[in-house]
Structure 1
Amino acid sequence: MDLVVPVKRLTEAKTRLRGAAGDDPAAHARLTLALAHDTVAAARDARLVDRLLVVSSDPVVAAALAALGIEVVPDGPVPGLNAAYAHGAALLRARRPDGAVGALQADLPALRPAELDAAITAAAGHARAFCADADGTGTTLLLAAPGTDLDPRFGVGSAAGHALSGAVALDGDWPGLRRDVDTPEDLGAAADVGLGAHTRAVLVPCSPH
């Protein structure tokens, strides 16, 4: 499985999360980057993930993740999250046309590698499959089998959008995979599941509780 993880520019990302790590804009940028760090670290350590590609035009994101050996490419010519996923998927498919591809959100600080492996395993036999978020309305992971277009439909109501497009909803008990973070309340819920090391470090001595 080849995975695409888009990361927005830190100054534009997670606006509803501002203040969760302090009032300083730099603290917000550190928190946003930490969320991506923990997400990418879990994906990198998943046994069934062969290649990981981050799509980001933010130079801080690119430098930080490249230092860990993660490949980062800039956004394509079309703006937006779904365009970033499609751009990354096209690059991965150009390298391995017969490979499966996936789209993973970058704000999953409680994600565990075993959860990602379990979701990929559960998707076997389906042309496209997705994992809904904890609320059941959004999407945290979209997978497409070899020879199948990824067709990402992320955004408001994306779980319904992916289901309507023919993707199969995965029903595994994966709390870290389902717990994306958009608000301070989401961050507190992710902390209850168990945050990754980068996010924990940014929140000390701040606490989401």
Structure 2
Amino acid sequence: MALFQLILILILSSCMAQDEDIMTPVVNIYSEIKEIKASINRLTMDLNTANNELAEQNSLIEELQKQIKESPKVAFTASMSATESTNRGPFSTETKLIFDKVLTNIANAYDPVTVFTAPVKGVYYFRYSGSAFSSHDMGLSVFKGTTQFVSSYKYNSGERNDQMASGAVMELEVGEEVHMRLWIRSWIFVGQHYNYSTYTGYLLYPLDSTSV
């Protein structure tokens, strides 16, 4: 009987030991939960940082869109009108060319009778083209006020009718004028139906009063 009791005690002790092993966790659950919370906090901080950066970028985009919308729009293209195909020149003095056939005149800064007048301080681009008969010289200049800025010259080749073009970037103050002139003893062709000779200008971007 004593032996049976001893065996029973040994069996019960073994079972209790197994139960303790089963109930003992392999990992520390509290440590794992703590690490998960720390990871969530880091992800939350990263998300907040990303949201702040996105908000700054959206604000910058809105500001740029506002500047583009409010930026002045200035552009023109003009040619010379004629009831029949003819030419301007030659003249005994350098002569202002009148491009009276207005094709585009955004902001109405171009006066087809006189000159282009800058409505805002800014950087502008001007371009011109000229057509001439092969037997005639052609000299063209762009003037900023009374100062010759850029010029082009075509010598009479005697072989074919010629076309030339050039352009320039200018910084203009409000009210400064730009026009074109035909050189002494030179010609420029004016077509009745086609705009062979043209004068174009547009505002690249405005400058504020503190710009250098």
Instruction: Pick the structure with more helix per residue.
Output: 1
> Is the structural similarity TM-score above 0.5?
no
Higher strand share: 2
TM-score (norm 2): 0.22
Task: Compare CA radii of gyration and give the structure with the larger one.
Answer: 2
- TM (normalized to structure 1)? 0.22
